[in-house]
A and B are shown apart, each in its own frame.
Chain A
Amino acid sequence: MSAPAIPRAVRERTLLRSLSLVIVGGLLIALITGALSSYRNLQLAYGGYYFAALAGLTVLAGLSGQISLGHGALMAVGAYTSGLLIGNEGWALVPALVAAAGVSAIIGIPLGLAASRLRGPYLAGATLAFAVGLPALADKFPSTFGGENGLTINPSMPPSWLGSNFALERWEAWIACACALIVLFVLYNLVHSGVGRSLRAVRDDEIAASLCGLHVGRNQTVAFVVSAACAGLGGGVFTVVNQLAAPGSFQVQLSLYLLAGVVIGGLGSLVGAIWGAALLVFLPNWTTDLANSFSLSTNVSHNLPLAIYGVVLIAAMLLWPSGIQGGFRSLGSWLWHRRGRRSRSPGAPADRPSAAS
């Protein structure tokens, strides 16, 4: 047996819920993007591809208690795949993005196999090696990957049925958000599937789970590969939106940004990935503004976002390990309890957790 069977009704409910989520989200985005400036639309597009990678990463962390530092590099795989296919081979947008996800998934298989065997720091170390090592390949094969300059592609124009004055940025936001919604759909169903359940069981108690006959390793590999595909899709969109895939965008720092994004959003939380994506989009702007208004040197302003991400990582772990989404959740349950208590009995003693050390 590979995973606990999920009752059909539950499965259908999950499917239905995620589908309606996606449809509502899609409609909202279609409408909102019409009201946004092209700059805001572009930012939305950035957020879309960051979300894809962050969501994959956070679900992996939430399900298996593992973090990957390789997701920046997996984004690079997707980015170069779509760059090569669109730029050199003349592929259309959709198949190129599918291929970007697919190639990253394939690259993710050996990593996922390793991930299924590795606990804690080992996987982090292995994926860190991947993140450090991969960008150098662009130099190794300059004729294919364009060396330091990377690959450039032509912008993907909005289709004609959208009208001739449909803004390019709005179209890019649509592409990115559509991919983000697909990722959301896939991951939501993964989390609530048998694989997701068994992975949570494994995370909580590996030995017990394997005694129950759960295929620990296979499920972890599946989770990693799906997560890699999401990052790859994000990378593919990156190239489409920026019309460029260059090694400079995918240094180790990117993986650290992504980590900061999932940590501040809350490890394991899909909604948290939205917060994380927002952080990754807006923080560089804020720090640039900050640097300008204090006329900081370029060295300082260049490295300010990185410093902030680092501080965020440390501070979040020391002070607030559940991240923004966890904060909202505990705020919510606090309000809930307050309301409950007030409605119960005004003078009742506070129901403290039973006194313990």
Chain B
Amino acid sequence: MLAVHELSAHYGPVRAVDHVSLEVSAGSVTAVLGANGAGKTSLLRTITGLIPASAGRVIFEGEDITRRPVEEIVRRGLAHVPEGRGVIAELSVDENLRLGGLWRGRDAAPRKEIYELFPRLHDRRTQLASRLSGGERQMLSIGRALMGRPRALLLDEPSLGLAPLLVAQIMAMIRRLADTLDLAVLLVEQNARSALSVANRGVVLNLGRVVADEESHRLAADEGLRHAYLGF
């Protein structure tokens, strides 16, 4: 579904993503873990083309999408929920949602579907997104990505700044989305334990390199890795 081969990216001389390879198949969740500055965000941004890849390839549904324009990649069904939630504060909740489905035209998910998933958004649909709480923004951001009925979903730290209960709910929902919509989910998380609890696989990054790529329960059971990189 989504395969990354030896992908590298730089900020000037700094190599943020260093020959990373990984795969996510439809209906599965792959967690990308690692300390601050490990290169997780940079990896996602390189996959969607926000940062040009300096080497390697990204294959999505059998086609090479490396170095395509961002909007074309997204329009193939690869949704990216950016770090820090990325809701457009100047637009209303409803407009943010509409925006997510515009490129799909008639085939976009009905907004009703998203509101059923996140009833709290429905209550606030006419408000500006700047008025939402952190958790609501996260819901909006995910809901907006789902509007385009993507085939793969890249999530950058959806748990950031959320209360533990909400984190558990969001994680459970991510699992459910992967199962019911047959989505390929690449889930970047600091919160390793809860991410691994819903993921099929876990990839650990350090200094831009993959240091572990295993099934999630094995990763969670690996004392050494847990201590060295995951902090639990």
Contact = CB atoms under 8 A, between A and B. Distances in A.
B62 interface: no
Contacts of A357: 9-10, 51-52, 54
Contacts of A355: 10, 54
Interface in B1-48: 9-10, 12-13
A70 B199 CA distance: 64
B35 to A, nearest CB: 24
Interface in A101-134: none
B90 to A, nearest CB: 21
Nearest to B53: A357
A354 interface: yes
Contacts of A348: none
A356 interface: yes
Contacts of B10: 355-357
A351 to B, nearest CB: 14
Interface residues of B, number: 7
B54 A354 contact: no
B16 to A, nearest CB: 11
Nearest to B13: A354
Nearest to B54: A357
Contacts of B54: 355-357
- Central interface residue in A354, A355, A356, by most chain B CB within 10 Å: A356
B30 to A, nearest CB: 26
Contacts of A356: 10, 12-13, 54
Interface string A317-357: 00000000000000000000000000000000000001111
Contacts of B9: 357
A357 B50 CA distance: 12
Contacts of B13: 354, 356
Interface in B31-88: 51-52, 54
A40 to B, nearest CB: 50
B67 to A, nearest CB: 10
Nearest to A357: B52
Nearest to B12: A356
A354 to B, nearest CB: 5
A36 to B, nearest CB: 51
A34 to B, nearest CB: 55
Interface string A197-216: 00000000000000000000
Contacts of A354: 12-13
A353 to B, nearest CB: 9
Contacts of B12: 354, 356
B9 to A, nearest CB: 7
A357 B54 CA distance: 6
A337 B99 CA distance: 52
A356 B9 CA distance: 9
Contacts of B51: 357
Nearest to B51: A357
A354 B14 CA distance: 10
A355 B15 CA distance: 10
A356 B13 CA distance: 6
13 contacts: A354-B12, A354-B13, A355-B10, A355-B54, A356-B10, A356-B12, A356-B13, A356-B54, A357-B9, A357-B10, A357-B51, A357-B52, A357-B54
Top 6 closest pairs, chain A to chain B, by CB = A354-B13, A357-B52, A356-B10, A356-B12, A357-B54, A357-B10
Interface of A: 354-357
Interface of B: 9-10, 12-13, 51-52, 54
Given A354-B13, A356-B54, A357-B9, 10 more contacts: A354-B12, A355-B10, A355-B54, A356-B10, A356-B12, A356-B13, A357-B10, A357-B51, A357-B52, A357-B54
